[in-house]
Each structure stands twice: as C-alpha cells, then as structure tokens.
Amino acid sequence: MKIWTSEHTFNHPWETVAQAAWRKYPNPMNTAVIGTDVVDRRVVDGILHTHRLVSSKWGFPRWAQSLVGSTNICYASERSEVDPKSRQMIMKTRNLTFCSFIAVDETVSYQCHPQDPAKTLLKQEAVVMVQGVPLNNYMEDMLASKISLNAGKGRQAIEWVIGKIDAEMKELASSAAKSTDELITQTKKSLDDITTSARKSMDEISSAAKKSLDDLSSFKPRTNQNIPKF
C-alpha cells in the first residue's frame, strides 16, 4: 500500500476556487479525463451532496495491461460535499475499473485558509493498493507517481478555469455596460421624439387657433335691411 499526500495554497477566495473545481473538466492540462456525469445531487441541511461518474484514460503500459487487463475508458465514482457555511468542499473518488486488482482512494478538500480568508487551502491524499497480481509494489509506485503528476496538472487547471471565469465576468460586465448605454441612447431618442411630437402638436394647435381667430375677424354680420319686417 502506498499513501500520497500534498498541500497547496491558492491565492483566491474559497468561493472562486470551489466554483472552478466544479468546472475543472474538460481542460487542456488534464486531457486524460474525458467526461463527468452527475448520477445524483441533493441538498441536505444546507450541504450539497453530489455523486458523479468520472470517465478517463489511465494509459497503462503494455506490461501492466498484460497483468490487469486493458480498456479504452476507465471509470471512477466521485462523491462530494459542499458546505458554503463552513466554506469547505470535500471530494472522495474511488476507481470502478480494475477494482478486482487495484484500489485507488483519493480525497481532495478545498477549505478557507486558516491564516488568510482571501486564500484557499487544498489538501490531497491518495491511498493506492494493488493485490492479486505480480509486481504489485512496482505498480503501486507507478500509480502514486501518476497521481502526483496529475495533481500538479490539476492545480494548473484550477488556475486556468479561474482565468476563464474572470474573462467571462469581464465580458458580462462589458456587455451590461453596452446594454445600459444603448438603453440610455434609446431612451433619449424616445424623449426627443416625444418632445418633437409634442412641439409639432402645439404648433398645429396654435396654427388652428390663429386660423379660427382670423376667420372670426373676417366674418361680417348681416345688415338690418335683410331682416324681414312684420
């Protein structure tokens, strides 16, 4: 059995890192992971519980495939808990493929850094056990090294996703500002149209009133001789 552990500090608040962890796959760093599917998701006492199926390619060398078998896609079960109140996210993953010979239990936690609330502390632990096949110790070392390599890529992927989120937020803010400018321009145009229309209506009313006064001024009443006498 091999036990691998690691810690890393992200210079981002927990909410940002937790969001990036959900959007971690796919990414150009961890190309071995080809998909994640949600099996179950529910909220219990304010804690989000999620069960996902993770699809990946392990890329075993030929000698290892001859011992445990070969497959194009490997599957793992991932169960996670997100507690926004305590600002903690825990993910536990175990392989489903090759489970007759190999057991890889990995635990990843993201929590608010105890010394700096503006940062996030990442803790990782993996327990690797290979049994029932020759060269089990060698295979355990190989898997532990692969986990360590992928962990480094995973941290880079988190930073990549955070950069992507920041770009999306800037684009959204720019779009919102543009929409506001367009709304102000449209509102000003509408007010100008209303003012022009109102001014035109007043001019028409004034013109009609003037014409009526002119008509009254030009009106001559009939003389008395035209009035019949009785």
Read off the pLDDT of each residue in 140-150 and give the average, rounded to a whole number: 95
Helix (H, G, I), strand (E, B) or coil at 42: strand
Query: Does residue 228 carry a pLDDT above 60?
Result: no
Query: Does residue 224 carry a pLDDT above 70?
Result: no
Query: Does residue 152 carry a pLDDT above 90?
Result: yes
The per-residue pLDDT for 196 is 76
What is the chain's mean pLDDT, rounded? 89
Architecture of the domain defined by 2-158 = 2-Layer Sandwich (3.30)
Q: What is the dihedral of CA 69, 75, 76, 80, to 10 degrees?
A: 180
Q: What residues does 112 pair with on adjacent strands?
A: 120
State the Cα–Cα distance between residues 173 and 166, nearest whole angstrom: 11
- Amino acid of residue 110: Y
Q: At what angle do helices 136-217 and 14-22 cross, to 10 degrees?
A: 100
Structure tokens at 117: 């609330």
The per-residue pLDDT for 162 is 96
Contact, 17 vs 35, CB < 8 A? no
The per-residue pLDDT for 211 is 72
**Range in 8-17, 26-35, 192-201 with the lowest mean pLDDT:** 192-201
In the chain, which residue ranges form alpha helices assigned H by DSSP?
Answer: 14-22, 62-68, 136-217
Residue 167's CB is within 10 A of a number of other CB atoms, namely 10
The per-residue pLDDT for 3 is 97
Its pTM stands at 0.74
